[in-house]
Structure 1
Amino acid sequence: MRAYDELFAMECTIADNAGDWPEEAAVPPPAEWLAQSPAVAAAYARRLARDGRFGEAKPLLAFAVRGFARSGAAGALRAGIAWLVDVGLHLGDVAEAETGLRFLQEETELPDDGGDSRPDVSFALGRGGFLLGLSVEERLRRFEEAAIGFAGADRRERALAAAFEWKRLSDAAEMPVEAGASIVRTMRQKAAWHPAYLPHAKLLEAGPGAAAQEEAFGACAYYRALAEALRLRLTLPTLGDAELDREAERAEVARRDRFPGDLELQAEGLLRAASRHARAGRDAEARAALAEVEALLPLGLPPEYRRAIARAAALVEGAKAAPREGAPVRVRCFGELELERAGEPIAAPRWRRKKAQELFLLLLLRPGHAMPKEHAIDALFGSDAEPDKAANQLYVAIHEIRRALKESLGWSEGAALRDGVVSLPEASIEEVDAEKYVTLVRVADRLQQDQPELSEELYETAAELYGPLLPNKPYLEWLDRRRDELERLQSRVLERLYRAALRRSDLARAERYARAWSELDPHREEALQALLKLLTDAGRRSEAASLYEAFERRLRDELGAKPSPETRRLLGASISVRKM
């Protein structure tokens, strides 16, 4: 009797939770519950689907649907079929999904029974409506209904999933901004009194490609992975970074392994591979990857992927036919300034005015290679410069940049001043190593918690890329600030690599990074402590004592300070013995 009471209590909890598995409930539930209760089976299947475990979710949903049909629970039946359709679409079970969709389409024409199934049904019709010949506009309307319905029932995670699907379909179809007025307004109103809906509103109001805000999905592992895959495809290819592409591809492989059989994650990984092969000039491999994506379309891959396939195919053709003259350049700022095009070095511009060269370097090291006119004037001439005179000098520098870049690089456009913003032509710059370095670190930071191994690999790539920033350039206040910023960033990267190696007990690697950390930041006591601890633990106390004494002298001579007692304790008797 007690077991029945517990099962009944769980069914009541699930009903109060709009049919979803309660977050606080243990998983997996007892096997006998899954065998006896369609409600428990359906709720736990939803939890599995949320985590991308579609193959496990499908038989539980099929069992639940049969149970709901026998009991005459119309609302639960519709919701169960809607979830079964969604899982089928993920797995490529097109025939079953289409049968379920036709049933749901007929059901939507009946009066609403006041249940909670309507948003689930709308979501399924949005996801699979292309199998029924529904237009993009109709599918968007369905996603909008789903997002608003889920929000009204306070099913935040599902509301975010529906908003995500609406956003990426809208972006793929290049719909006008006003098409989303209703859903945006609803989410704004919801967010006004419930802050948990702020990610929903921000997602919908952002520009194209913003559907890839994977951090907003919290515990929903599948949508977080899909959003991140979209971000990798939409954002990282603009960096032109082959090494980063390899890391991103590894991440895609890992995700495909974690979510086996999912069509969209397979497609995202293949599109990434096609892009990577195209940029490397491997046309045959790129075309093969695109052919694999096209083969997924009849299995239920949404038709909006045809646009992505077409764009990737255009990239293959563009990479094959790209002219050398005036093509984008890669710029190296770590070390001596170096430029290259199509893998071959090219001569740096010849400057007639120092301020033009300084402005060129300033813009190269800015995000998007642009900055407000006032900030450029402050950096070049100082905040106390006479405004009119400084503005004239800025125009002269811009004109000189245009001349120099046209002569040396063949650019039809050089620097420009539009709407109060000074910029270089972004399309003409494939990558700047300092910018790439910062991007690598930021991506690694974001992946550190969920994917520590990939994060560590990206940190390693960044650490190897780093070097002194334009060391042959004379003192410039803005350049010195940027050098300091990058040095602090590299110090943090080396510290994280040291700690990651230490967690794996890879002492040789830990020592290498601790030593590099200490050399980069010679006054940083934590860096020295890390190195001393490794050396003393390895019995290399004499070497540790020499490093300590050099550090002690450096602090005394340069800063008038002393090492902390904690650092001295790491050496113990070694220092005393050497000083006797």
Structure 2
Amino acid sequence: MTHQRIGPEMTPLPGVHLSEAVPLYHVHFFGPFQVKRANQPVGEPVWRRNKAKALLKWFLLNPGRMFSTDQLVECFWPNVAKKSAERNLHVAIHYLRHLLEPDLPARHESKYIRRNKDNLYWFELDESWWADIFDVHQHYTTAKEAEQRGEYSTAISSYRHVVTYCNLGFLHEDAYDDTFSSHRRHYDRIYIEVLKNLIHLYSQVGMVDEVLTYAHHALLVDPYCESAVKAIAHSYFRQGNTAGAIRKLDYFQAFLKRDLGIEPGEEIFSLRKQMAELE
């Protein structure tokens, strides 16, 4: 375990491979944040301490990584006097330990939220835990490996699982909280990459409707995605709608100019020229 500074550029856990034992805890980061223990909601319907909820999110996103009291206080109580903030942290940790382990005897250490003699905290993850973020990384890895082997149907299936999760939105209740911004960027990057990969794979097998579906999806995530615009234009062209393809390219060019003050890449101009010559 390493002691890391909390900061906006922290890299989230790249994936956790747990055993196939039936997990006691189920956590959902996509869509409404939910934690269940033995299929019963934890901390619901209303968490009495929202900072404890935020701490649990942080620990689960950074399992095994050590954080000092000062780091956690700076992250979750940045504008509170030091002694009060430390007291708030200890109360939140105590609340969280007993929320997760209601049968934990007094003065016994938590199995999951750990602290060493140097007052460094970390979260001990084991096979008791399942989280949708683990599923996302597993499906993403499976898809990438299948794509490299040329197993397109397997790759497409696994990529679509990732899209199903990401489409729900990562911690959307914390959309305006900078605490989780680095993690949000991480899953946004995965989301747009997976959509681009689906566009490419469906193009390879000539499934135009699916190309259009995921290309439009990609533009909802990233309205400046040139590869999605090119895929839409190509699809329209293959369907015999050359005028529609040219309009899409022209609209994108005007949109970039108006919104960002830039021109699209040379491929967009080249594609438009080729289509205009064939119109």
Q: Is the 8 A contact 1:498 1:509 kept in 2?
A: yes
Q: How does 1:71-90 map onto structure 2 within 5 Å? A: none
Match of residue 176 from structure 2:
475
Amino acid at match of 1:405: L
Q: Deviations over 1:321-378 (max 9, x none)?
A: xxxxxx7121111111133456x56354443333222111112223xx3421145455
Q: CA 1:449–1:354 in 2, change beyond 3 Å: closer, same or farther?
A: same
Match of residue 492 from structure 1:
193
Q: CA 1:553–1:237 in 2, change beyond 3 Å: closer, same or farther?
A: same
Q: How does 1:130-141 map onto structure 2 within 5 Å? A: none
Determine the C-alpha separation between the residues in 2 that align with 1:511 and 1:362. 37
Q: Is the 8 A contact 1:329 1:428 kept in 2?
A: no
Match of residue 159 from structure 2:
459
User: How far is the alpha carbon of 1:482 from its aligned partner?
Assistant: 1.2
Determine the C-alpha separation between the residues in 2 that align with 1:443 and 1:377. 38
Match of residue 205 from structure 2:
504
Q: Tell me the secondary structure at the aligned position of residue 148 of structure 2.
A: coil
Query: Paired residue for 1:524, among 222, 225, 238?
Result: 225
Q: Tell me the secondary structure at the aligned position of residue 371 of structure 1.
A: coil
Q: How does 1:352-431 map onto structure 2 within 5 Å? A: 352-366=48-62, 369-374=63-68, 376-381=72-77, 391-406=86-101, 410=102, 412=104, 413=110, 415-418=113-116, 421-424=120-123, 426-427=125-126, 429-431=128-130
The total of aligned residue pairs comes to 249
Q: Deviations over 1:441-487 (max 9, x none)?
A: 13333443236343443222222222311212252223122111111
Root-mean-square deviation (CA, aligned residues, Å) is 3.4
User: How far is the alpha carbon of 1:495 from its aligned partner?
Assistant: 1.4
Which one has a bigger Cα radius of gyration? 1
Q: CA 1:564–1:348 in 2, change beyond 3 Å: closer, same or farther?
A: same
Q: Is the 8 A contact 2:75 2:179 kept in 1?
A: yes
Determine the C-alpha separation between the residues in 2 that align with 1:356 and 1:478. 14
Q: Is the 8 A contact 1:370 1:423 kept in 2?
A: yes
Amino acid at match of 1:397: A
Determine the C-alpha separation between the residues in 2 that align with 1:341 and 1:476. 26
Amino acid at match of 2:121: V
User: How far is the alpha carbon of 1:501 from its aligned partner?
Assistant: 2.0
Higher relative helix content = 1
Amino acid at match of 1:437: V
Question: In the alignment, is residue 445 of structure 1 matched against residue 136 of structure 2?
Answer: no
Q: Is the 8 A contact 1:355 1:380 kept in 2?
A: yes
Q: How does 1:35-434 map onto structure 2 within 5 Å? A: 236=17, 238=19, 328-340=24-36, 344=39, 346=41, 348-349=43-44, 350-366=46-62, 369-374=63-68, 376-381=72-77, 391-406=86-101, 410=102, 412=104, 413=110, 415-418=113-116, 421-424=120-123, 426-427=125-126, 429-434=128-133
Q: Deviations over 1:239-285 (max 9, x none)?
A: x5xxxxxxxxxxxxxxxxxxxxxxxxxxxxxxxxxxxxxxxxxxxxx
User: How far is the alpha carbon of 1:433 from its aligned partner?
Assistant: 0.8
User: How far is the alpha carbon of 1:561 from its aligned partner?
Assistant: 2.4
Determine the C-alpha separation between the residues in 2 that align with 1:430 and 1:527. 37
Determine the C-alpha separation between the residues in 1 that align with 2:259 and 2:247. 18
How much identity, in percent, do the aligned residues show?
Answer: 19
Higher relative contact order (CA 8 A, sep 6+): 2
Question: In the alignment, is residue 536 of structure 1 matched against residue 237 of structure 2?
Answer: yes
Determine the C-alpha separation between the residues in 2 that align with 1:474 and 1:466. 14
Match of residue 7 from structure 2:
none
Q: Deviations over 1:68-103 (max 9, x none)?
A: xxxxxxxxxxxxxxxxxxxxxxxxxxxxxxxxxxxx
Q: CA 1:441–1:385 in 2, change beyond 3 Å: closer, same or farther?
A: farther
Where structure 2 has 5 or more consecutive residues not aligned to the other structure, the ranges are 1-15, 105-109
Determine the C-alpha separation between the residues in 1 that align with 2:73 and 2:149. 43
Q: Is the 8 A contact 1:536 1:571 kept in 2?
A: no
Determine the C-alpha separation between the residues in 2 that align with 1:355 and 1:348. 12
Q: Deviations over 1:301-326 (max 9, x none)?
A: xxxxxxxxxxxxxx6xxx6xxxxxxx
Amino acid at match of 1:523: Y
Q: CA 1:455–1:396 in 2, change beyond 3 Å: closer, same or farther?
A: same
Q: CA 1:376–1:457 in 2, change beyond 3 Å: closer, same or farther?
A: farther
TM-score (norm 2): 0.72
Where structure 1 has 5 or more consecutive residues not aligned to the other structure, the ranges are 1-234, 241-314, 320-326, 576-580
Q: Tell me the secondary structure at the aligned position of residue 570 of structure 1.
A: helix
Determine the C-alpha separation between the residues in 1 that align with 2:160 and 2:206. 17
Amino acid at match of 1:372: M
Amino acid at match of 1:329: Y
Determine the C-alpha separation between the residues in 1 that align with 2:87 and 2:174. 24
Determine the C-alpha separation between the residues in 2 that align with 1:460 and 1:549. 30
TM-score (norm 1): 0.38
Q: Deviations over 1:82-129 (max 9, x none)?
A: xxxxxxxxxxxxxxxxxxxxxxxxxxxxxxxxxxxxxxxxxxxxxxxx
Q: Is the 8 A contact 1:502 1:510 kept in 2?
A: yes
Q: CA 1:499–1:341 in 2, change beyond 3 Å: closer, same or farther?
A: same
Amino acid at match of 2:65: M
Q: CA 1:388–1:559 in 2, change beyond 3 Å: closer, same or farther?
A: farther
Q: Is the 8 A contact 1:518 1:527 kept in 2?
A: yes
